């Protein structure tokens, strides 16, 4: 337990958490940019290219092959970080979780106000008629998953070259503007425009919990280079 962090949490009544892939690595979900991350694995095409809108449209079979293998994670469970954040929300201290993750683990842990900047693998929709499909439909299908109407069923995740949801962005900005403590965890702050949201935070206290240095470290009240589940777990 980090005493300085716990003191900051105890003094704060409007906490916002901003997190990335490092929050879920302790649940067995690989991140993107570490040595063992998805972006350093060998595929026929670079993963950054595969999860782009233009690749999805030009080569959907290869997109779904990668998507099923690497982005749908079965049997993952919330870890200590997810559970602690849910408890802080239940106590009325944490007002929002802003996440770059698409795994739904914050909600599985009990968090209610989760702002998913990059969407969720748990939501899927027909690009023709809009019919909703659960993640199992994608996971258990072969090739390009298609709706009964014939349209392609696309995951509700934000691909490269796609815009973030404006309503989610607006809610995230409002949460950051009102916060008195911002905890940034498990993110290298290398993905924009998501990382650019930090400029809307006007509070005094900033905590960064990440295994490697981030651009926000120089502005932080406290920097902790440890696994986030170990830091936030009680």
List the chain residues with pLDDT less than 50: 34-35, 37
pTM, rounded to two decimals: 0.93
Please name every residue paired with 224 in a beta bridge, in sequence order, or none if there are none: 209
Classify the C-alpha dihedral 128-130-135-137 as positive or negative.
Answer: negative
Is 106 part of the annotated catalytic residue set?
A: no
C-alpha–C-alpha distance, residues 192 and 198, integer Å: 11
The pLDDT assigned to 200 comes to 97
Strands 132-133 and 119-126: antiparallel
The pLDDT assigned to 35 comes to 45
**Nearest-10 Cα torsion for 2, 8, 12, 18:** -70
The pLDDT assigned to 46 comes to 85
Please name every residue paired with 183 in a beta bridge, in sequence order, or none if there are none: 17, 207
Cis peptide before 55 (omega within 30 of 0): no
The pLDDT assigned to 70 comes to 87
The pLDDT assigned to 41 comes to 57
The residue behind tokens 């929050």 is 23
Which residue of the set 82, 106, 118, 174 is catalytic? 118
C-alpha–C-alpha distance, residues 147 and 163, integer Å: 24
The pLDDT assigned to 91 comes to 97
The pLDDT assigned to 48 comes to 85
- Beta strands across the sheet bearing 132-133: 132-133, 119-126, 153-157
CA 63 vs CA 15, 40, 144: distances in Å: 37, 17, 9
The pLDDT assigned to 85 comes to 98
């Amino acid at each position: 337990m980090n005493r300085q962090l716990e003191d900051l949490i105890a003094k704060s009544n409007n906490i916002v958490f901003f997190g990335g892939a490092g929050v879920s690595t302790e649940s067995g979900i690989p991140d993107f940019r570490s040595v063992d991350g998805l972006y350093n694995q060998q595929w026929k095409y670079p993963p950054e290219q595969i999860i782009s809108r233009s690749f999805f449209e030009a080569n959907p079979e290869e997109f779904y092959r990668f998507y099923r293998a690497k982005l749908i994670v079965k049997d993952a469970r919330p870890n200590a970080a997810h559970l602690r954040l849910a408890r802080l929300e239940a106590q009325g201290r944490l007002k929002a979780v802003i996440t770059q993750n698409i795994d739904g683990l914050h909600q599985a842990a009990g968090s209610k106000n989760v702002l998913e900047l990059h969407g969720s693998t748990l939501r899927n929709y027909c690009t023709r008629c809009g019919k909703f499909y659960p993640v199992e439909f994608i996971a258990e299908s072969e090739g390009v998953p298609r709706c009964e109407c014939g349209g392609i069923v696309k995951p509700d995740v934000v691909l490269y070259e796609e815009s973030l949801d404006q309503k989610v962005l607006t809610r995230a900005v409002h949460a950051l503007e009102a916060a008195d403590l911002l905890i940034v965890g498990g993110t290298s702050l290398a993905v924009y425009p998501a990382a650019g949201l930090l400029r809307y935070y006007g509070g005094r206290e900033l905590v960064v919990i990440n295994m490697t240095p981030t651009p926000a470290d120089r502005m932080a009240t406290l920097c902790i280079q440890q696994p986030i589940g170990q830091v936030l777990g009680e």
